[in-house]
């Protein structure tokens, strides 16, 4: 929370720096965002900061995990189609790719995420998110 407050103070004084928020994982393995904002009209030299904590939804966590795993935009598209239960051919048709290219993307995603099957991929990206939010 100290980091968020410092970032909020820096923003308020015109030194842009990092945005005044961070994502953290709670003790219960859920994700939350901590936001800070300097209170206006406060006369203290310390510049009081309000800190709020918001739970992060499943779709936000999956996007965060896509970034953390280093998935490209196309790999994210393929993974999202797989999450909807699409076959390789359906993914290819939906994204205007060849089936061979889809298989290459899936193989690359498996490597980045550490999954050996589509089910394990979905568990690592989506099932874990559902159990770590809300």
Highest mean pLDDT among 15-24, 89-98, 123-132: 89-98
Residue 83 has pLDDT above 80, yes or no: yes
Size of the chain in residues: 134
Question: What are the DSSP calls for 25-40, one per residue?
Answer: E-TTS-EEEEEEEEPT
**Least confidently predicted of 2-11, 115-124, 125-134:** 125-134
Tell me the pTM.
Answer: 0.59
CB 37 within 8 A of CB 109: no
Confidence of residue 19 (pLDDT cuts 50, 70, 90): confident
- CA–CA separation, 90 vs 75, rounded Å? 15
Question: What would the mean pLDDT of 85-97 be, rounded to a whole number?
Answer: 96
Of residues 107 and 25, more confidently modeled: 107
40-80 pLDDT tens trace: 765 655 568 888 888 877 767 777 778 889 999 999 999 99
Residue 134 has pLDDT above 50, yes or no: no
**Least confidently predicted of 58-67, 77-86, 90-99, 107-116:** 58-67
Q: Which of 99, 125, 97 is nearest to 113 (CA)?
A: 125
- CA–CA separation, 35 vs 4, rounded Å? 6
- CA–CA separation, 106 vs 77, rounded Å? 11
In the chain, which residues fall in CATH 1.10.10.10? 60-132
- CA–CA separation, 94 vs 29, rounded Å? 34
Confidence of residue 82 (pLDDT cuts 50, 70, 90): very high
Percent of the chain with pLDDT over 70: 84
Query: Is 60-132 CATH 1.10.10.10?
Result: yes
CA 104 to chain centre: 24
């Amino acid at each position: 929370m100290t980091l968020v407050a410092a970032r909020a103070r820096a923003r308020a004084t015109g030194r842009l720096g990092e945005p005044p928020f961070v994502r953290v994982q709670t003790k219960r393995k859920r994700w939350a965002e901590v936001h800070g904002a300097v209170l206006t009209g406060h006369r203290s030299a310390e510049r009081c900061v309000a800190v709020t904590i918001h739970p992060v939804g499943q779709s936000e966590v999956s996007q965060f995990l896509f970034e953390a795993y280093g998935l490209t935009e196309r790999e994210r598209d393929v993974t999202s189609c797989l999450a909807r239960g699409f076959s390789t051919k359906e993914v290819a048709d939906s994204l205007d790719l060849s089936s061979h290219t889809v298989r290459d993307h899936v193989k690359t995603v498996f490597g980045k995420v550490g999954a050996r099957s589509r089910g394990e991929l979905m568990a690592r990206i989506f099932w874990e998110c559902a159990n770590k939010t809300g």
